[in-house]
């Protein structure tokens, strides 16, 4: 049985480049919405102090997450020019390849990584019904 996965990314804001990042994030969001049909949610938040950006991804299962990760190294490399990563969190049974990729990125950047694999209970509504 497949279970949902929540992937959360945290980034430090480089205030001098925030406007550039905000323009980039609009473009990337539209691109992901068109190209990554199995990504259930891609939500980006900026804190009030404009010191941290948090991006939340939701996937119905590990296959959907793996599809989303195709091309992620290139997309992430562009974003990290503007915002250095401070940490990642994975909730749910991500594939071995996804966990490995995130673990390597965390180690390379000095960011934290929190993983909670075992889905216990809950639901994910993909429509308003």
| 33-88 tens-digit pLDDT | 999 999 999 999 999 988 899 999 999 999 999 999 998 877 777 777 888 899 99
Residue 122 in any domain: the answer is no
Residue 66 lies in a domain: yes
> Which range (13-22, 53-62, 90-99, 102-111) has the least confidence?
13-22
Count of structural domains, the chain:
1
Q: Would you list the DSSP string of the chain?
A: ----EEEEEEEE--GGGHHHHHHHHHHHHHHHHHH-TTEEEEEEEE-TTS-EEEEEEEESSHHHHHHHHTTHHHHHHHHTTTS-EEEEEEES---HHHHHHHHHHHHHHT-EEEEE----S----SS--
- Give the CATH number, domain containing residue 77: 3.30.70.100
Looking at the domain assignment, is residue 29 inside a domain?
yes
Residue span of the structural domain in which 48 resides: 5-116
């Amino acid at each position: 049985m497949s279970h949902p996965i929540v992937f959360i990314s945290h980034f430090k804001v480089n205030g001098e480049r925030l406007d550039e990042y905000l323009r980039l994030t609009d473009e990337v969001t539209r691109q992901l919405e068109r190209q990554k049909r199995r990504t259930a949610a891609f939500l980006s938040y900026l804190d009030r102090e404009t010191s941290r950006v948090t991006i939340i991804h939701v996937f119905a299962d590990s296959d959907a997450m793996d599809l989303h990760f195709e091309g992620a190294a290139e997309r992430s490399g562009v974003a990290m020019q503007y915002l250095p990563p401070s940490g990642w969190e994975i909730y749910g049974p991500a594939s071995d390849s996804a966990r490995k990729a995130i673990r390597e990125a965390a180690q390379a950047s000095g960011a934290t990584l929190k993983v909670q694999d075992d889905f216990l209970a809950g639901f994910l509504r993909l429509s308003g019904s």
